[in-house]
Amino acid sequence: MLVLQDWTLFLKQNLEAFIWLLALVLLAFMPVDATGTSLCMFHQLGIESCPGCGLGHSISAALHGDLVLSIDGHPLGIIAVVLLIFRIIAVFKAYFDYNKIKKEWYE
């Protein structure tokens, strides 16, 4: 039971990193030419130009290696991928550094 508690604590303390990681994984599995139904509120209202959708498609194209399509979708898509990867690493690094210091302090 202690192992399960450790995992839930690990998940709670790194929730931001897991959310960003899940978002990147979902965008990586999204087809680059995805033009099907959308959950976007702007598309539901009939507005075709949504900066959020452009960024999502741009990130998806960047993760598929199509940099030209990525820049065409949104100029900041590649930068967003890099920043999200750095943020995920930073959250996990802070967690492990903190626990290392805490462990050394109490030993």
Model pLDDT, residue 106: 67
Which residue ranges of the chain lie beneath pLDDT 70? 1-5, 34-39, 103-107
Model pLDDT, residue 7: 79
**Cut 0.85: pTM above it:** no
Model pLDDT, residue 87: 96
How confident is the model over 22-35, as pLDDT tens digits? 999 988 988 887 66
Give the DSSP per-residue string, 13-60: HTHHHHHHHHHHHHHHHS-TT--S----HHHHTT----HHHHHHHHHH
Model pLDDT, residue 59: 92
Cα(80)–Cα(88) distance, rounded to whole angstroms? 12
